[in-house]
Structure 1
Amino acid sequence: MEIKFVTADFSVADQVTGDDLVALKNAGFGTVICNRPDAEAPEQPTAGTLAEQARSLGLNWYWLPITPGQFTEANVSEFKQLLKSSDEPVLAFCRTGTRSITLWALSQAAEVSSEQLLHKATAAGYDLSKLAPTLDERMINNNESKLVR
């Protein structure tokens, strides 16, 4: 597992194992979010197995599986809610961390500029530049909805 710090309270990683959960607990993480569907790869542990181990360690555990490239508004909304209500710091993971950081960027885009989000993603080692128009649109839609109120 390679942890990539995005903000002071949010990080992403590639596949987490049971041993990694112990390391995450020892490092002070409070919540783990798994964005990987079961059975993507034969060697990956199931979400249920990891959930049981995480909870036995006192970590909050959430499973929000995302098929690569298939982000729904419901996924983004649920992820945003999980971030708001979770014990920090939070670590989200998938196969490479890309789905997790993409969900994070989409969930923050209504309040944070695409430039800032892309900068943080790049600093963590992820190129989300193709997502810029979508991030900008989320900010515009949020600003327009505030004007309507």
Structure 2
Amino acid sequence: MDIRRLTDTISVAPQIEPEDLRAIADLGFVAVIDNRPDDEVGPGHSSERMSQLAADAGLRFAYVPVHPGQFSTALIDAFAAALAEAEGPVLAYCRSGTRSATVWALSKAGQLPAQDIIATAAAAGYDLSNIRPYLA
């Protein structure tokens, strides 16, 4: 697993494997947010299967699919709500982690300075400078 910490409460990762969920719980995460749409994965990585395995591992699970380039207000609000409801460290994942990092950044727009959001993502290996206008 390639887990990249953004803050104390949120980390992001490229696609995780079903067998990773127990290890994720063992690392202290309390919830997982699946940002990868089901139409991008096979049945072994479907949100339904991952949700069941997360529950078996004692993790909360939220399915907030992000299609490339499609970051609606409703989607950003759903991500923020899943993060807030977790009451502990959360791991969000997608294909590469970029969409998860981006939706986190957009959920923090207006709460944190844009340069801080971009620097946080950059420290984790994600260049989000292209969304700076949306973070102000």
Q: Same fold (TM over 0.5)?
A: yes
Aligned to 1:34: 34
User: Which has the larger displacement, 40-49 or 98-107?
Assistant: 40-49
Structure 1: give runs of 5+ residues left out of the alignment.
Answer: 137-149
C-alpha distance in structure 2 between counterparts of 1:44 and 1:16, whole Å: 11
Question: Shift in Å at residue 81 of structure 1?
Answer: 1.4
Question: Shift in Å at residue 110 of structure 1?
Answer: 1.4
Question: Shift in Å at residue 51 of structure 1?
Answer: 0.5
Q: TM-score, normalised by structure 1?
A: 0.87
Aligned to 1:146: none
Question: Shift in Å at residue 87 of structure 1?
Answer: 2.8
> Number of paired residues?
136
Q: What is the letter of the counterpart of residue 127 of structure 1?
A: D
Q: Is the 8 A contact 1:11 1:92 kept in 2?
A: yes
Q: String of CA shifts for 1:46-86, please: whole Å, max 9, x gaps.
A: 11111000001110000011111111000011111111111
Structure 2: give runs of 5+ residues left out of the alignment.
Answer: none
Report sequence identity in percent.
41
Q: What is the letter of the counterpart of residue 8 of structure 1?
A: D
Larger Rg: 1
Q: String of CA shifts for 1:71-118, please: whole Å, max 9, x gaps.
A: 100001111111111131000000000110101000011110000000
> 1:3 and 1:111, CA in 2 relative to 1: closer, same or farther beyond 3 A?
same
Q: What is the letter of the counterpart of residue 37 of structure 2?
A: P
Which structure has more relative contact order (CA 8 Å, sep 6+)? It is 2
Alignment of 1:1-149 (within 5 A): 1-42=1-42, 45-136=45-136
Q: Is the 8 A contact 2:10 2:90 kept in 1?
A: yes
Structure 1 residue runs of 4+, over 6 Å off? none
Q: CA RMSD in A?
A: 1.2
